[in-house]
């Protein structure tokens, strides 16, 4: 019986000292075995028996003279890398949250220069290690996990003209777990195949509209999100009923029943295509989205369709999409709603982390 061949690779750590939009780079000496004469982050291998955080602290001290406490480091990226020579490794990239002293080149036998490079203009760096550039690109894009497997024909040095070997690995959203816990909410994972977002597009003839939901905006640019019995989140809206004149009539009715919401000016946003007709008859279905100004929210009351009282919160659109879940499709929908509400309904672009629960007694936003 053939013994299995297990994957073994080196582990290295990389340290990002970022100051005013600039990142610290060191140029590797001409006589180093790997990437001679190229610019790179302070970095090094993890020693036997050492954890990655301890390794980052040690390498920062050895290469820059800066002593860092563990609490000053934040992991930005974990990336599996294979260079042109086929040497696999896993890199841990840490950002430093403040430091004392001035970073210096304290290992002149390994590096012959130090520079602060503009993160917005990395192409201006002549001779940057491709591995490091891919990591900086991933971090700039908010990617926490990635692959960087270079073909044998690639160069160790980054070439702006060469195709990127960077492949982001999609990850579960962990960033807002404390915020969800604080507000007693949880993301809603949609059943079935992923829905596709069609912005500013009329529903095609023959495609039935089964649902109508709304991005309902307060005057400060935040949107209304409903919290269900088990803490699941959703937008106001629901199933189109036979007596509803159109999807906007559905939203207007559901907004009153679920949230006690009176709507002002509205703007059509587009529709989500549910190719499997989840919870309906299994045929493709359109789920229409509309942006609207909130005039008022009545005191809390029981939703006649569900028999319970929804909690109501206000959150910036981007954050609302993230809290609800739904990934890139939900984010695209949220940004489309925010842009339309700003351009057509005159509402501000709310960003940030401000989440507030609507008072049980309701609120009046503007005169009807």
Q: In sequence order, what are the residues at sequence separation of 6 or more whose Cβ sits closer than 8 angstroms to the Cβ of residue 367? A: 295
Single out the residue in 143, 168, 193 at which a domain terminates: 168
Q: What is the pLDDT of residue 1?
A: 64
Say how far apart CA 226 and CA 233 lie, in whole Å: 6
| Structure tokens belonging to residue 254 | 């559901």
Q: What is the DSSP letter of 250?
A: H
Q: How many domains does the chain have?
A: 2
Q: Kindly report whether the global pTM for this prediction surpasses the value 0.75.
A: no
Last residue of a domain, one of 136, 168, 200: 168
Using DSSP's 3-state secondary structure scheme, residue 278 falls into coil
Please check whether residue 192 lies inside any domain of the structure.
Answer: yes
Q: Look at residue 128 in the predicted model and tell me its pLDDT.
A: 97
Q: Which residue has the tokens 């009046």?
A: 364
> Which tokens in the block code for residue 285?
């279905």
For each of the chain's 368 residues, which pLDDT tens digit applies?
677 777 778 999 999 999 988 999 999 999 998 999 999 999 999 999 999 999 999 999 999 999 999 999 999 999 999 999 988 899 999 999 989 999 999 999 999 999 999 999 999 999 999 999 999 999 998 889 999 999 999 999 999 989 999 999 987 666 577 788 888 888 776 667 888 999 999 999 999 999 999 999 999 999 999 998 888 888 999 999 999 999 999 999 999 999 999 999 999 999 999 998 888 888 999 999 999 999 999 999 999 988 989 999 999 999 999 888 877 788 899 999 999 999 999 999 998 889 999 999 999 997 65
Q: Measured between alpha carbons, how far is 55 from 124 in angstroms, rounded to an integer?
A: 30
Same domain, 118 and 262: no
Same domain for 184 and 161: no
What pLDDT does 227 receive? 94
Q: What residues have CB less than 8 Å from 214, skipping those under 6 apart?
A: 235, 236, 237, 251, 255, 263, 289, 290, 291, 292
d(CA 238, CA 211): 5
* DSSP-derived secondary structure for 59-94: HHHHHH-----GGGEEEEEEEEEE-TT--EEEEEEE
Same domain, 134 and 83: yes
Asked if residue 182 and residue 88 are part of one domain, the reply reads no
The CATH code of the domain that includes 31 is 3.90.79.10
Is 2 contained in some domain? Answer: no
Q: Which residues span the domain enclosing 329?
A: 177-364
> Do residues 222 and 294 both lie within one domain?
yes
Cα dist from 305 to 159, 194, 229, 262, 328, whole Å: 60, 27, 14, 18, 30
Q: Hey, what are 81's tokens?
A: 């890398």
The answer to whether residue 4 sits within a structural domain is no
The β-bridge partners of 42 are none
Same domain as 191, residue 45: no
What is residue 106's predicted lDDT score, i.e. its pLDDT?
97
Of how many residues is the chain composed?
368
Q: What is the DSSP string of 248-260?
A: HHHHHHHHHHHH-
Pair (155, 219) in one structural domain: no
Q: What is the distance, to the nearest Å, from the Cα of residue 318 to the centroid of all Cα atoms in its chain?
A: 9
Angle at 142 between CA 139 and CA 148, to 5 degrees: 50
CA atoms within 13 A on the CB side of 300: 14
Domain stop point among 168, 189, 204: 168
Same domain, 158 and 190: no
Contact 332, 199 (CB under 8 A): yes
Q: Quote the DSSP letter at residue 332.
A: H
213 is a domain residue: yes
Neighbours of 351 (CB within 10 A): 13
Q: Which residue in 258, 288, 251, 270 sits closest to 335, CA to CA?
A: 270
For residues 194 and 255, state if they share a domain.
Answer: yes
């Amino acid at each position: 019986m053939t013994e299995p061949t297990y994957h073994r690779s080196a582990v290295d750590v990389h340290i990002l000292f970022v100051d005013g939009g600039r990142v610290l780079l060191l140029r590797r000496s001409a006589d180093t075995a790997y990437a001679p004469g190229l610019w790179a982050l302070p970095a090094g291998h993890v020693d036997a028996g050492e954890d990655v955080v301890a390794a980052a602290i040690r390498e920062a001290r050895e290469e820059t003279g800066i002593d860092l406490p563990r609490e000053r480091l934040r992991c930005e990226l974990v990336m599996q890398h294979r260079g042109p020579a086929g040497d696999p490794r896993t890199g841990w990239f840490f950002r430093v949250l403040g430091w004392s002293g001035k970073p210096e080149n304290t290992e002149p036998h390994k590096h012959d220069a130090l520079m602060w490079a503009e993160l917005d203009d990395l192409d201006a760096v002549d001779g940057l290690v491709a591995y490091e550039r891919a990591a900086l690109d991933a971090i700039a894009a908010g990617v926490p996990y990635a692959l960087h497997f270079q073909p044998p024909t690639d160069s160790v040095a980054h070439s702006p003209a060469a195709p990127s070997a960077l492949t982001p690995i999609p990850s579960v959203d962990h960033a807002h777990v404390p915020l969800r816990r604080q507000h007693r909410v949880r993301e809603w994972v949609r059943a079935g195949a992923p829905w596709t977002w069609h912005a500013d597009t009329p529903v095609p003839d023959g495609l039935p509209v089964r649902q109508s939901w709304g991005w309902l905006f307060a005057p400060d640019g935040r949107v209304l999100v409903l919290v269900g019995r088990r803490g699941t989140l959703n937008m106001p809206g629901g199933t189109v009923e036979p007596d509803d004149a159109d999807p906007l009539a559905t939203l207007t009715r559901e907004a009153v029943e679920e949230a006690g919401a009176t709507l002002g000016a509205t703007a059509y946003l587009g529709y989500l295509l549910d190719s499997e007709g989840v919870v309906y008859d299994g045929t493709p279905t359109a789920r229409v989205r509309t942006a609207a100004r909130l005039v008022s929210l009545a005191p809390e009351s029981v939703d006649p369709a569900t028999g319970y009282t929804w909690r109501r919160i206000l959150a910036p659109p981007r954050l609302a999409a993230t809290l609800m879940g739904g990934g890139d499709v939900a984010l695209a929908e949220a940004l489309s709603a925010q842009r339309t509400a700003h351009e057509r309904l005159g509402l501000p672009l709310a960003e940030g982390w401000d989440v507030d629960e609507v008072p049980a007694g309701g609120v009046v936003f503007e005169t009807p």
